[in-house]
Amino acid sequence: MKKSFSLVLAAVLLLLTVLPVSAATTVKLGDVNQDNTVDALDFAAVKMHLLGKSTLSGNALLAADVDANGTVDVIDLAQIKQYLLGKITKFSGEGKQDSGVGITWMDGKTLYPVGVNYAWYNWSYEFSDSNWTSNFTRIKSDMDTMATKGIHSLRWWIFPDLAYGPLWSGANEGSLCTGLPDKWVDHMKEVCDYALSKNIKIYWTITSFDCARSDDAVDHDDIIDNPTVLQSFLDNAMKPILQKLGTHEGVMGWDIINEPEWIVNSEDNGAPNGKGESFPLAAMRNYIKTTCAYIHQYAKQPVSFGSANMKWLGAQFDLWDGLGLDFYDFHWYDWATPYFNPVTTPASSLKLDKPVIIGEMMPNTSGSSLKMTHKQVLDAIYKNGYAGYMLWSWNDGAFDCKPYIGTDFTDFAKEHSEVR
């Protein structure tokens, strides 16, 4: 047996650098090269990975983790050897791998969001009545195309920087929100109606870390640390929206703030971006918790917010528990893959009390370090217990996801009825 292992290792050293990733929906533990057999080639591939002579990724890496603990190490190699020697007949990780089930939507229905970020076309003016006819024509055309690509969920920002969407009594901190521009809510309902007709649900993002930018002519980031200002915003901007859309079937959910960690103080384990004000973690938590409770008064759809990375959702720091959220949401770009990789990290390892989705995902996974199609990533994260997947972005020219979707979303939806 040792001689056969040595021969195989020599062959692999000559021929193998990175194992290909299979497009199969399920991963057979131990079958690293995805040929439906666990043999010496699989043992050799894992050994080379551990020696740093090749790199496993995607489904190959999942298959190598035979004890299903989220890490490929010498224990996995030892189990594969025991299996080949006939000392065990199955791996300890069998039956332990997670399966994604989605988020709980209105009236207890299960929903697995698969879609894209729409972000914005008109920063802060998205639902203004100015030029609405032409803007809505473009929106409908985009949704028509999305429907053909299997996009069922759409993350869309309402007030990116709080500057021009809601109306204010003044331009600076301490000003109170007085309402919304004319027909703002009506136009939001129009897009929800049309989205629903295309079997698309919108995940409304209320604001972003951009609200704290110092280069804006207006400054209303004190909704985060001034309870009076926050209450005026909730009562006069959010309440009319929630009353109109809180039971609408074209709404997937509510995202309280995009990537707040970029404006949380570093001493609280945030990562201030240096582009404006930052806040104590306690203030940000209070803002999210208060807003979440307010939305729950008027809306049946679930509530979350978009964390900048799984680092802050339990992988390294646990900043956001106990806020009343209905699910969690983090964003994944390739800079984080070496440290926080959902393809190889089960959602259960984050020890969250609710499901977790990937609310922003790098658009070109095939060209990333993953070397996987979106279908392959979806298969892997679903198996690892993640509850949704949304690409960045439909309308960001620098990071356009449209060329990379293909039939991946439609193919995944054919296998999972909860994608709807």
pLDDT in tens, 338-389: 999 999 999 999 999 999 999 999 999 999 999 999 999 999 999 999 999 9
Q: Would you say 91 and 29 are in contact if contact means Cβ atoms under 8 Å apart?
A: yes
pLDDT attached to residue 99: 55
Place 95 in a pLDDT band, splitting at 50, 70 and 90. Answer: low
Q: How far apart are CA 150 and CA 299, in angstroms?
A: 26
pLDDT attached to residue 97: 54
Give the CA distances from residue 296 to residues 162, 235, 242, in Å, rounded to whole numbers and listed in that order. 22, 14, 9
pLDDT attached to residue 58: 66
**pTM for this model (two decimals):** 0.79
pLDDT attached to residue 47: 95
pLDDT attached to residue 100: 60
pLDDT in tens, 305-349: 999 999 999 999 999 999 999 999 999 999 999 999 999 999 999
Sign, CA dihedral 78-80-81-82, equals positive
CA angle 101, 106, 108 (to 5 degrees): 55
Stretch among 56-60, 119-123, 264-268 having the lowest mean pLDDT: 56-60
Q: How far apart are CA 174 and CA 168, in angstroms?
A: 10
Q: How far apart are CA 155 and CA 259, in angstroms?
A: 14
* Residue 344 DSSP SS3: coil
Strand partners, 55: 18
Q: Residue 360 corresponds to which amino acid?
A: E
Query: Cα(first)–Cα(last) distance of the chain, in Å?
Result: 51
- Taking residues 142-163, what's their average pLDDT? 97
- Examine the pLDDT at 13 and tell me if it is beyond 80: no
- Examine the pLDDT at 2 and tell me if it is beyond 60: no
Q: How far apart are CA 383 and CA 26, in angstroms?
A: 8
Q: Would you say 302 and 109 are in contact if contact means Cβ atoms under 8 Å apart?
A: no
Which has more pLDDT, 329 or 25?
Answer: 329
Note the maximum CA span of the chain: 81
Mean pLDDT of the chain: 91
Helix axes 132-148, 184-197, angle to 10 degrees: 20
Q: Could you tell me the two tokens for 127?
A: 């639902």
- Examine the pLDDT at 1 and tell me if it is beyond 70: no
Please give the helix or strand (H or E) that residue 160 lies within, else none: none
pLDDT attached to residue 105: 95
pLDDT attached to residue 7: 41
Domains and CATH numbers, the chain: 2-84 (1.10.1330.10), 103-415 (3.20.20.80)
In percent, how much of the chain has pLDDT > 70? 92
pLDDT attached to residue 217: 86
Q: 142 Cβ partners below 8 Å, 6+ apart?
A: 118, 394, 395
pLDDT in tens, 256-285: 999 999 999 999 999 999 999 999 999 999
pLDDT attached to residue 96: 58
Q: 81 Cβ partners below 8 Å, 6+ apart?
A: 43
Residue 87: Cβ-neighbour burial (10 angstroms; 0-12, 13-18, 19+): exposed
pLDDT attached to residue 397: 82
- Taking residues 201-206, what's their average pLDDT? 98
Strand partners, 258: 208, 306
